[in-house]
Chain A
Amino acid sequence: MADFGYTLWILILPLVTFVILGLFGMKIKGRMAGLTGTASLAVITALSYTAAISYFTGGGLADGVYQKIIPFNSVWLNLTDHLHIDMGILIDPISVMMLVVISTVSLMVHIYSLGYMKGEKGFERYYAFLSLFSFAMLGLVLATNIFQMYIFWELVGVSSYLLIGFYYDRPSAVAASKKAFIVTRFADMGFLVGILLLSFTTKTFDFVSLTALDGPAITSTGGALFLGMSLMTWSMLLIFIGGAGKSAMFPLHIWLPDAMEGPTPVSALIHAATMVVAGVYLVARLFPVYYFTAPEALHIIAWVGALSSLLAAIIATTQTDIKRVLAYSTISQIGYMIFSLGVSGYGDHDGLGFMASNWHLFNHAMFKALLFLGAGSVIHAVHSNYMTDMGSLRKYLPVTHITFLIACLTIAGLPPLSGFFSKDEILTAAFHHDKILFAIEYAVAGLTAFYMFRLYFSIFHGVDRHYHHTPHESPAVMTVPLIILAFGSVFAGFLPFSKLVTSDGVPFESHIEWSIAIPSILIGLAGITVAWVMYRKENALPDKIASTFRLSYRWAYNKFYFDEMYIFVTKKIIFKHISHPVAWFDRHIVDGTMDGIAWVTQSVSSMIKGFQSGQLQKYGYVFVTGAVALALLFIYIL
């Protein structure tokens, strides 16, 4: 096996870059800061690719099985006698795959931002945060134990918070960043309690021993039953809540569309390609534990994924802000991945869902980053996020147009683009698992094609809007990343993924099941056709359909009123019915009691203070009266 000691630099470099840019960013010129960040990331990308190539070309194989290699591990904190938090690096197929995804997309975003963010105030801050994010995300995927993952999980959360709120003088951005942090933090509480439960059943945080087939997690009996489910199932379910929060699964998805307030390249990197798939990665990382000890949890995961993909796809068909369409599309696609893990088996061809999920993650990172960066290029050109302000842009933005079209075709699942292969494998896995879920995902495939081409036609076809300034193509520093990502989207489908990333580390043969693939292609084409009819040229059809199904349209347009429900809970219940009463109680009851005691003391003392007036005649009077009274008492009564 190869030596992977150099992978430590993958973590050190971005951290150092962050510290340098954070401390001295103000002193150096913005452009210099950008170039520093980009150069550092280029090195990281090179290291990641080296690691991936050497791992998959034999460096990671032993006896025909991909090994889990730990080139570095050291104790960071001792918790209990059995439990200690380590910081280390775990090299295995999924972590290496994620390295490639993160470094590729991150590098593209770094380069793209040199153009997109040019002239923005806080350019160096932007690159410092990007470095922080890269550090956190890379640490997350390389984690050797679940607690290290949790630590970096929080760090990606905070870097996401900082980047969403990059334009911190905009109230909407501030609100969105706060919402993102708090919603995911709420989910992380589930994650943390899940880790607590899990670690006290298994006495370890370590991924290698957790996922070992003869390890303490998988051989455990599951622990006592609580509300009909074993303790292990509960803990895995709680851990999944953390994943669902980060990956914006229903009903914790509400932060992601708002997170689009951040700069568009950030949306491409964090909220499309990398951070939001952390939930998928988490489930994949612990997949054997889910499969063997918590099958109920896996079943729930499948349903959460399927419903998320369906509801998000429905909402996406009605939105007009192009970034929000893409955000819902992201939720929908991540739903696919989560779903695919939920229906997967373990080992060999049974683990098809696992493989397909990771493959889709890989492909999705490429095409969704491409879509976002393309959208950024469009927004850069027309200075609006709304598709109602766009149309016929294909004349002005040729490169953006072509690459965007490629991405749309990829996400719609047309062969031979990458999306087709991974989606087909997901559908195949679903078909062998559960027919209802399979049907839902089929429908989502059609919806996806429809809303993506609705987006495509509205932006690049339709009416010419008489723009104030003639829109012009973005500079090369922005279009080159688009072209590179387009290549990735086209060719990622030809990677022999089932030979690389599998549920048990053993390569297997997968092939396309045409009986499932052909109908899915047809559904995709149908979706595109409908979008073509409705949006190719401006016509009355969309409005007519919207008014015919007014009620359901309104529901979808208002995102099924999820935001309103959350506002009800936070504003009405937490603020009004918990916090205000608590504050009132504290001031008036608890403190009132204290003040009351003081008041009573004071009143009593003012009542009796007359006894010590210092007036001699009064003392004499009291003394004489008392003596007489006592004398009378003794003489007559006793």
Chain B
Amino acid sequence: MSILTWLVIIPLLTITGILFVKDARQAKIVSAFGMGIQLIVSAVIVYSYVALRNAGVTDEMVMISSYEWFRSLNIYYTVGVDGISVAMIALTSVVVFAGIFASWEMDDLRKEFFISLILLATGVFGFFISLDLFTMFLFYELAVIPMYILIGIWGSGPKEYAAMKLTLMLMGGSALLMVGLFGIYFNSAPDGGELTFNIIEISKITIPIEAQRWFFPFTFVGFGVLGALFPLHTWSPDGHSSAPTAVSMLHAGVLMKLGGYGAFRVAMFLMPEAANEMAWIFIILTTISVVYGAFGAIVQKDLKYINAYSSVSHCGMVLFAVLMMNRTAMTGAVIQMISHGLMTALFFALIGMIYGRTHTRMINEMGGLMKVIPFLGVAYVIAGLASLGLPGLSGFVAEMNIFFGAFEHPDTFRRVATIIAVSSIVITAVYILRVIAILLLGSIRDHHFDLLDDAKWYEKLSIVSLLAGIIYIGMAPLHLSDIIRESVMPIVDKLL
């Protein structure tokens, strides 16, 4: 059995473990333990992946293993990874780990919360390792559905509305996606042979262009909904603001990445001709996302809304980069997914921690918090600086890859789109600094806040594990970027 399968088994074992414990307190210890092991397994996978590459293995996917699952439709449980999926696995395990610790002391959580949360994580891990479209789709659904329960039960504010909206919109996306995936399946053997769901096999043949024209938009938009593609992003502000902390972290941190990942791994990789033909439409939409999300964030008053709009802008950047279809931009897209995953998880963790203390998320009702909760304050500032693309933190590396990759195209359309996207670095600075100024600086507005406690050990653990990733990628980006640069090549080659 490939080590990759452990990524699915460990969460399932953790869930089983939770079923047998008495209360939420024990449940969270079991979850933390399970996800800690998961983190170690991910590290081992990263390490062995790098070792394999250093040993000269040039296969597109490594650590492959495959089990027949459903003979008559030729469905297999096939797993395997390349540099991109390895990076996403590492991201996911860090975010899940941090998420458990960020919700360590929430009072109203129950066993079922942790079960749903880890079920969601199982789906995400499974998605990233799958090489079979059907299995991939199954895991995708597994990740989306617990979200409804998590938000609907443990959320805040208009949680039923938000949960319903989020689930329905994502399900709408799934419906499109299903059409797209079956379209791919039924065209996977144009010369007669056996139909297949296997990504690698499909990538070796050319799906007839007429079919591509039909099914590319379905697949791309289907994934795009989860990647907050304008104008299908509106589930994000409501969903995030109602979700409990760990769910927001996981959702914005990794679940939204499923969209970007699927968009290039499935839609573009398997249907490159249609992708080339239709890229311009989506470039326009994603350019809008990038700027629109940033402008939308400027005037928001609720911390979670600010971050949700900011995510629209940053995830728009991912899809924007993917559509530029060259090595540099694709690398940028993957780094942006990881960078945004880490920093948005950090943001949501911090917002949850601040909310847990002040019981408000309205920035106007707070102020001067840096004085009373310096640890959280400094972490917020660093996350903000990463978000506005300060060199030395991860966002910068991603953005520079994206901008330079996008600008590589000599045509005016893409260059103009790039310059518009570049302008987001200024707008981002405006809303980030605005929040920092109102929330953390100045004098303390409400004297109830004078006696707040700073971060506890579990909160610090959660924050530091995310910060470490942000700083590491920002300071020494060469490791990560070289792994990814290598792995995007097969996809880019097909798109050329």
Interface residues, chain A, with chain B CB atoms under 8 Å away:
75-81, 83, 85, 150-152, 154-155, 158, 161, 165, 168-169, 171, 174-175, 178, 181-182, 185-186, 188-189, 192-193, 196, 199-200, 574-575, 578-580, 582-583, 586, 590-591, 593-595, 598
Contact = CB atoms under 8 A, between A and B. Distances in A.
Contacts of B440: 168
A155 B423 contact: no
Question: Is chain A's interface secondary structure helix, strand, loop, or mixed overall?
Answer: helix
A182 B442 contact: no
Given A174-B437, A582-B292, A75 B478 contact: yes
Given A155-B390, A174-B437, A80 B443 contact: no
Contacts of A580: 299
Contacts of A590: 230-231, 233-234
Q: Which 9 A-B pairs have the closest CB atoms?
A: A151-B391, A591-B234, A579-B298, A168-B441, A582-B295, A579-B299, A174-B441, A185-B429, A178-B433
A178 B434 contact: yes
Q: For this complex, into which size category does the number of interface residues on chain B fall?
A: 35 or more
Contacts of A598: 165, 168
Nearest to A85: B400
Contact of A594 (B234, B368, B441): B234
B441 A77 contact: no
Interface in B158-217: 165, 168-169
A258 to B, nearest CB: 14
A238 to B, nearest CB: 10
A163 to B, nearest CB: 14
B401 A583 contact: no
A171 B405 CA distance: 41
A165 B295 CA distance: 25
B404 A80 contact: yes
A75 B418 CA distance: 25
A80 B404 CA distance: 8
Question: Is chain B's interface secondary structure helix, strand, loop, or mixed overall?
Answer: helix
A189 B422 contact: yes
Contacts of A181: 429, 433
Nearest to A185: B429
Interface string B417-435: 0110011011001100110
30 contacts: A77-B481, A78-B482, A80-B328, A81-B327, A85-B400, A151-B391, A155-B390, A155-B392, A158-B385, A165-B441, A168-B441, A168-B442, A169-B442, A169-B443, A171-B442, A174-B442, A178-B434, A182-B433, A185-B388, A189-B422, A196-B407, A196-B418, A579-B295, A579-B296, A579-B299, A583-B295, A586-B292, A590-B234, A591-B234, A594-B234
B391 A154 contact: yes
A617 B156 CA distance: 45
Interface string B340-371: 00000000000000000000000000001011
Given A155-B390, A590-B234, A189 B426 contact: yes
Given A174-B437, A590-B234, A79 B390 contact: no
Contacts of B481: 77-78
B494 interface: no
Contacts of A85: 400
Contacts of B84: none
Nearest to B405: A80
Given A165-B441, A174-B441, A200-B408, A77 B397 contact: yes
Nearest to A121: B371
Nearest to A165: B441
B407 A76 contact: no
Contacts of B401: 77, 79
A181 B300 CA distance: 21
Nearest to B443: A169
Contacts of A583: 295-296, 299-300
Contacts of B134: none
Interface string B52-77: 00000000000000000000000000
B403 interface: yes
Given A77-B400, A174-B441, A193-B419, A582 B296 contact: yes
